[in-house]
Chains A and B, each alone.
Chain A
Amino acid sequence: MTNYGFLIDQSKCIGCHACSTACKSENQVPLGVYRTWVKYVETGAYPDVRRRFQVTRCNHCANPPCVRICPVTAMYQRDDGIVEFDPSVCIGCKSCMQACPYDSIYLDPESNTAAKCHFCAHRLDVGLEPACVVVCPEHAILAGDLDDPASELSRKLATAQVTVRKPEQGTAPKLFYINGNDWSLHPSAAQTHDSFLWADKVTEQNVAAYALPVLDDGGRVGLGALPSPYRDPAAVSRPAGTTKVSKSGTPIRTPKEQGRPMNGPIQIGGRVAEHMVQTAYNAQHKIQWHWELPSYLVTKSIAGGIYMLLSLGAGLGMFAFDSLTFLAAGFTAMVFMLITTILLIKDLSQPKRFLNILLRPQWKSWVARGAYIMVTFTAVAGLWWLLEGAAYLGWLPAEFIISIRPFAAWIVFPFALGVVIYTAFLLGQAEGRDMWQSNLLPFQLFAQSMMVASGVFLALSAFVTFPADLHTLLIGLFPASIAINLLLTLAPKFTSFASDVAMLAHREMTHGRFRNHYWWGGITLGHVIPLVLFFAFSAFALPAAVACAVVGLFFYEYAFVMAPQHIPNS
């Protein structure tokens, strides 16, 4: 079967950018976005210096995560292996951009939909090679059928030494590099300044505003901050604090934290033999998800959490129930669900197409699954609320509502839980953001939900008198869930990360540009202050404690959502 792939020979590539402009011309790509570009990395120390070129683009992965996450099959893999997209159905949720571990997908400013290299499928269809292949002065770019033993690409691939970008992502890239180089293949290996060799650097991503997590030991400097003086002899001296000595008398290095090597992910650059490893040119990528996503994480946590609590009460009989409490809490949940929906639709770059997600769901996508979970939750939870309301008004007999409550509870509970934790699986599909792919995340989302839902529920007691056991439950649950969530939030610091990208993102969150959101907002405002207010000032300060927890959670989610997006994937 036909299986298209690229083979790019970096030993021939002269960094001329012809492929870049030929692609813009063939596919009418607007300014500001790139389907293919040539990354430049400068390495070495004068006079032993090289500039590495890397033609960078979609890998047309055999197992493409962008396709798996796309809720509407706008991104799809053709039978011949080309990963293609259909802008006419894309809703602009930008999930594919989070799922791509290679920064290959962008939001097209003209169509407001996802776009990327599509292997010039429209040319292949008539028997023409992709535009970049045709233009290349050096025939450094080969496109062809990997399954055809006679193709130039297959024959070369069989004998050449090749490498791919980030094979550990399990995406099986079908873009192979001859003479590929880790310093350019690996996004975090090279230092990036606020400027490029001959271009402005304007996007937030990949700017050295954060210090890469290289230990600053005894004058050694981090990748992100190579200051003057460059050739300070101290920069290559032994790290301070090396005190232990082996039996032979040799000083022993102190073991480092996981993912924080002494000299960056590759043992070179600014430190080893004073070599430079700096990105001289790269495409610039925009941050795609902003405040809407962290907001929605908070609002749906409240909505889903309240209904989980209501379901537990009704289903397990953990607390007595009265209709007014239910109606007040349920109404609050529905309002937050409405806000959630508005936020989600607003964040689409094609909001008018939001129904596509229901009309043409792609069932492997947790975006689509989540949409169905939320819609079903809203339907069944809303129906329950209406029945309760009807009973309260006397339109339905009281016995009836009491008899159906356990059934309603057990129908609604899984959807309420789903609303709260499905995002963990959605973020798990975002394979470009390793930090989000945490096994703890479902539990953390659950704990967060309990924290803010119990708090908001409690706050309703100012208007409605609760049954006593409900009040007791909530007054215990609120501080307990804050405490548990605090532990879950801090846990990654004590566990390990699956990749350096996850580690870098976490570092960016806790020590980089989001450290204030994280420590002052998420931890202090969201956890410490509510606990202090709750225990020190008790019921008097409860509304303030709840408000702090909710706002603090937003700050945490903001840091959590934004930080990984700042870590370059190319």
Chain B
Amino acid sequence: MTQPKTNAPKTSAGTAVPQFTASDRKPIKLTEVVHPDGRISQYPPPDVWDDWVEWDGKEWPKRVARRYTLVPTVCFNCEAACGLLAYVDKDTYEIRKLEGNPVHPGSRGRNCAKGPATHNQVYDPERILYPLKRVGKRGEGKWERITWEQALSEIAEKMRASREKRRDGIVYHVGRPGEDGYTNRVVQAWGVDGHNSHTNICSSSARAGYNFWLGQDRPSPDFANARTILLISSHLETGHYFNPHAQRIIEAKTDGAKLITFDPRLSNTASMSDVWLPTWPGSENTILLAIANHLIQTNKYDKEFVRKWTNWKEFLQHVQQSTSAEWDSIRPLISNSPILFETFDAVLKQLYSEYTFERAAEESQVPIERIQEAAKYIANCDGKLAAHVWRSASVGNLGGWQVARCIFFLNVLTGSVGTEGGTSLTNWNKFVPKPFKSPPAFNAWNELHYPNEWPLAHYEMSFLLPHMLEEGRGDIDVYFTRVYNPMWTNPDGFMWLKALKDESKIKCYVALTPTWNETAWFADYVLPTGHGPERHDLMSQETHSGQWIAFRQPVRRVAMERAGIKVDFTYQANPGEVWEENEFWIQLSARFDPDGSLGIRQYFESPYRPKEIITVDEYYQWIFENSVPGLPEAAAKEGLAPLAYMRKYGVFEVKHENYAPYDKPLHATPEAGLASDEQDRVRDSAGAVVGLKVDDQFKVGFDTPSRKLEFFSDTLSNWGWPEKENVIPWVLKSHVDPDNIDLEKGEMILLPNFRLPTLIHTRSANAKWLYEISHKNPIWMNPDDAKRIGVDTGDLARVDTEIGYFIDSVWVTEGIKPGVIAISHHLGRWRLQEDSGVNRGASNLVDLSDDGKGGFLLRVVHGAKAWKSSDPDTSRIWWSEVGVTQNLTHAVHPDPVSGVHCWLQKATSVRKANADEKAGDVFVDTNKSMEKYREWLKLARPADQVSPDGNRRPFWLTRPLKPTKEAYKLKK
């Protein structure tokens, strides 16, 4: 591609300190213009965003006026999609700062620490500015700068070669998506089963649990209006969606709501709670079911809601037909009775009677009074229980998907489903508009993503990729990673190292990343793509009751276009030759299928200019004109085109509130064609299930196969998991159950996956303000345990896991449960060369050695250091410790149902470090890694043994990209 000329001024980002020019115009006073009563404004009103003058804070009290154009965009530092407002200099087009976007309905103009720190990422002196191609061996750290044209054509050539042979050779492996649907559409257009995600090390366990209940995999609690808030998470400091949720949780709390938090460690959230339940990991469900039992036995549950909306009839019928001894205790209640709700009530009372507060207190090692207090608040919630589990216990424990089942059971029992102050579902509060042309489902199945062993896996078995490659299950022709650093983020990173070094298994590896990361170091191509304010994306999140879409914009490009400068591609406005991914995928796909013979090119042709390759503007213009209800009208009111409206405000509120849509009457289809079956499902004339009959009324219902809330999961029952503990909300025995942890022998539980309010996995390394606040991850240890092993705060300890060990310092605190140690995720970044790789202020220089027999040793040469760069602040780096990469020592623990990696680790020994053991040391024996992998593999119940219908997995279960039904068929 010939790169078009532009008169866009280059940015200094990554190369020099940005310059801002003085304005000849004085600021206007908002106190006079907007608030005659003298109130103080938070933001300039949108009608002055185009041309805003304010005083320079650094020059003050000298009055130096600076002139900015204010461009709304969306934060990319977590998945919340909070609004940002970039202050772009009117002359130099440098970004002065990023504040919040006041018109954003989710974040409402406010941000967490990571929002303003986006500026650090843009002006990071260590960022990658040009496409790089490996010279020398993989991981040797030798690179040559190439053109984008070379990168695009070489990669497209490899993709075409693969696609002509097979439909599972190209993989797009995404960490933080940061957008809704764009790239999925691209992969779908390629006609390959190529989507891989990070979800299985993150949320898929909770998602699976919610999905079995609801047919939707994420809760959307209406925190702001709740009376009782129940969190198995740390939503006041991290998580989905930290800032918007934290705002609303505290609002509710200020209005008198009670906050209950489960966590073995005193998170900031736990500290802000009315009731903190420091549970023994794995005992959460016992408490949840004890509370459920309390509601059931005292008749404080919403019987009417349960009767109308749950599949209790199917459950009773199942028990009637079952011969399993597990149901013996309730069978007498059912066998002689008609299927009545009163029967179900009696069954519930019998079923859950074993879950007493006493048992919960004993198993969780939490004072019984606290559990009773929590139960009291939940019983009094009046249909306003906002409850949430996202990772935490659900991703920690074997069987953790049942945590979501059990917590949502409380929503069901209290009738807090979709109510004001209750818990709604993602699809009700998230809006994803359709693009101009959707590619059809592909007929392919990638066995490395959805292997036979896990027919119910919620999302791809991504973290097992290197183990499966090691077993010889397949190979990959072209492997893309996007905002993903598996070698560092995933468990068992040295297995990734092995896989990436083997060019016969991953033949071409392309890393799309704005900055260096540990995995990208082993790539064949490193392609710099933009940070948050350097790219287009469309995002929506279920932050509260209502729906909105937010438009991420490359702010310099928008500022230039406002000034009349022609910008054809975003990279012209970005630093160096940093591309935005939208344009990258378009250009790559066009080269992938230059003549349209593969049927791919058509999805990248303009809907406005036939046969021409689409521009990003056209892509979003079409969506805003055609797919967002109300947007064209709102834009017209301001005399703007829909795209111009979104460029101006960066956000649009699609629905203000959206409570209990399942209770809405069915009216989309003609009354005459609807009929209900014996399961109360309403079908249209074509036989498709479209709703639910509730007390003679046709309602929308839920997204499950039964259209009801599935207290009893027919899917689990039919797909090899028929036991009581699986099919209804129940306790599953965790791999860190007290039976499996011998405290006497010095074993402990390692809680390795909590997050800090200031960090964002691997991307915070290039945000100096965030690293200045938090840069190390000591081992939290209770004084009892510290005394036992003879360490104090600051001492080094050695933690042995199932596959290796690491050395880290200790933080002695009463804020953690005895017997449990906790270490934050995020930290322990490393680089292999002194002057290249992960940011020097944020990483250890390490020596990585391989004994050739599967043993890998990482030793720290030195920690963070100050250095001279285009940013004077890098010479002021004052910290040296940057933490320990504990994830390397984590054995993989694939849950046999959800497929998630169960993060909690068994620390086989925790002791004071010896003199020759240095902070940051990590050793792993990858032979043991494979052993542990095989051990967990045995827990799975493979599709070819359990499938009731000859398919690989239930068709109704979510997959990010669904293939054709044909592809679901198990191979004979």
Contacts and interface: CB of A to CB of B under 8 A. Distances in A.
Interface of A: 11-12, 14-18, 20-22, 24-28, 30-32, 42, 44-47, 49-51, 53, 84, 86, 88, 109-110, 118, 120-129, 131, 133-140, 143-145, 148, 150-151, 193-195, 197-200, 202, 227-231, 274-276, 278, 280-281, 284
Contact of A122 (B56, B266, B878): B56
A230 B786 contact: yes
Interface in B48-102: 54-58, 60-62, 97-100
B815 A202 contact: no
B756 A198 contact: yes
Contacts, number: 249
Given A137-B246, A231-B787, A42 B813 contact: yes
Nearest to A134: B42
A21 B268 contact: no
B629 to A, nearest CB: 30
B346 interface: no
Contacts of A50: 266, 271
Q: Is the interface of A mostly helix, strand, loop or mixed?
A: loop
A144 B29 CA distance: 17
B558 to A, nearest CB: 20
Given A28-B58, A31-B878, A51-B266, A138 B809 contact: no
B254 interface: yes
Contacts of A229: 787
Interface stretch (B8-16, B537-545, B774-782): B774-782
Nearest to B773: A17
B367 A228 contact: no
Interface stretch (B190-198, B569-577, B789-797): B789-797
B174 interface: no
B792 to A, nearest CB: 5
Nearest to B99: A134
B464 to A, nearest CB: 31
A94 B778 CA distance: 35
Given A12-B254, A46-B815, A137-B111, A126 B27 contact: yes
Q: Is the interface of B mostly helix, strand, loop or mixed?
A: loop
A231 B769 contact: no
B276 A47 contact: yes
A49 B814 contact: yes
7 contacts: A14-B269, A32-B772, A127-B32, A127-B40, A138-B247, A198-B776, A276-B783
Given A12-B250, A123-B54, A30 B367 contact: no
Nearest to B758: A17
Given A17-B113, A21-B117, A202-B879, A134 B43 contact: yes
A14 B266 contact: no
A15 B242 CA distance: 13
Given A25-B116, A143-B40, A228-B786, A195 B778 contact: yes
A122 B57 contact: yes
Contacts of B100: 134-135
Interface in B875-933: 876-881
Nearest to B790: A228
A280 B268 CA distance: 12
Interface in B807-823: 809, 811-818
Nearest to A52: B271
B354 interface: no
A30 B778 CA distance: 26
Contacts of A22: 99, 111, 113, 115-116
A15 B774 CA distance: 13
Contacts of A227: 792
Contacts of A139: 110
Contacts of B873: 30-31
Interface in B1-41: 27-35, 37-41
B885 to A, nearest CB: 15
Nearest to A78: B61
Contacts of B814: 42, 44-46, 49, 275-276
Nearest to B34: A127
B774 A198 contact: yes
A88 B62 CA distance: 9
Given A11-B254, A51-B266, A230-B784, 6 more contacts: A18-B115, A21-B114, A47-B817, A49-B815, A127-B40, A231-B784
B61 A121 contact: yes
B773 A199 contact: yes
A129 B42 contact: yes
A13 B736 CA distance: 34
A137 B247 contact: yes
Interface string B243-286: 10011001000100000000000101101100010100000000
B815 A148 contact: no
Contacts of A231: 783-784, 787
Contacts of B366: 47
A148 B55 contact: no
Interface residues of B, number: 98
Interface of B: 27-35, 37-44, 54-58, 60-62, 97-100, 109-117, 119, 236-237, 243, 246-247, 250, 254, 266, 268-269, 271-272, 276, 278, 366-367, 370, 756-758, 768-770, 772-778, 782-784, 786-787, 790-794, 809, 811-818, 824, 827, 872-873, 876-881
A24 B116 contact: yes
A135 B769 CA distance: 15
Contacts of A125: 27, 29, 55
Given A122-B56, A228-B787, A231-B787, A20 B773 contact: yes
B27 A134 contact: no
A21 B770 contact: yes
B354 to A, nearest CB: 25
B276 A26 contact: no
A128 B266 contact: no
A127 B792 contact: no
A285 B58 CA distance: 21
Contacts of B768: 31
A278 B56 contact: no
Given A32-B878, A47-B367, A127-B35, A15 B813 contact: no
A365 B179 CA distance: 59
Contacts of B30: 126-128
B54 A126 contact: yes
Nearest to B365: A47
Given A195-B811, A228-B787, A127 B116 contact: no
Contact of B57 (A26, A51, A145, A281): A26
A202 B39 CA distance: 42
Given A14-B250, A24-B116, A199 B774 contact: yes
B364 to A, nearest CB: 11
A228 B783 CA distance: 8
B778 A124 contact: no
Nearest to B873: A31
A53 B266 CA distance: 13
B61 A21 contact: no
Nearest to B102: A134
Contact of B776 (A49, A121, A124, A200): A200
Given A21-B769, A126-B28, A15 B35 contact: no
A198 B267 CA distance: 13
A195 B815 contact: no
B877 A31 contact: yes
B61 A128 contact: no
A14 B281 CA distance: 24
A128 B278 contact: no
A28 B57 contact: yes
Contacts of B38: 145, 148
Contacts of A195: 776, 778, 793-794, 809, 811
Contact of A20 (B57, B113, B367): B113
B876 A31 contact: yes
Nearest to A26: B57
Contacts of A128: 30, 40-44, 54
7 closest A-B pairs by beta carbon, nearest first, are: A127-B30, A127-B31, A230-B783, A122-B55, A25-B116, A51-B271, A122-B60
B270 to A, nearest CB: 8
